């Protein structure tokens, strides 16, 4: 299964990486590893995560307070948002 990030989601991922890396060297890379782990779960079991809106699901990361909001079209996972769980709920709905 392919993975595609919408541009705003990619920007959120990049910003979170930069922030964690500024907080502590190497923490950004651990964050990315956690995102990769979540993406692997999604690609193996795309229907296993909670439905949060029509056509959209959320996959929670295990070690960081982030969720991946995604949909599936044919053989592609489309990441709509890399959202911090304690900020602006559902801000991504217009995407």
Each residue's pLDDT expressed in tens, for the chain with a length of 95 residues: 999 999 999 999 999 999 999 999 999 999 999 999 999 999 999 999 999 999 999 999 999 999 999 999 999 999 999 999 988 777 777 67
**pTM of the full structure:** 0.90
Burial class (CB in 10 A: 0-12, 13-18, 19+), 25: exposed
In this prediction, residue 49 carries a pLDDT of 97
Q: What is the pLDDT of residue 25?
A: 97
CATH of domain 2-85: 3.30.2310.20
pLDDT given for residue 69 in this prediction: 97
> Which sequence spans correspond to the domains of the chain?
2-85
């Amino acid at each position: 299964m392919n993975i595609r990030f919408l541009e705003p989601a990619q920007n959120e991922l990049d910003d979170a990486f930069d922030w964690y890396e500024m907080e502590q060297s190497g923490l950004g890379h651990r964050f990315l590893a956690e995102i990769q782990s979540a993406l692997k779960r999604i690609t193996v079991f795309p229907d296993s995560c909670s439905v949060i809106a029509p056509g959209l699901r959320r996959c929670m990361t295990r070690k960081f307070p982030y969720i991946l909001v995604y949909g599936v079209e044919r053989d592609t996972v489309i990441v709509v948002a890399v959202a911090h769980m304690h900020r602006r709920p559902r801000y991504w709905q217009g995407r």
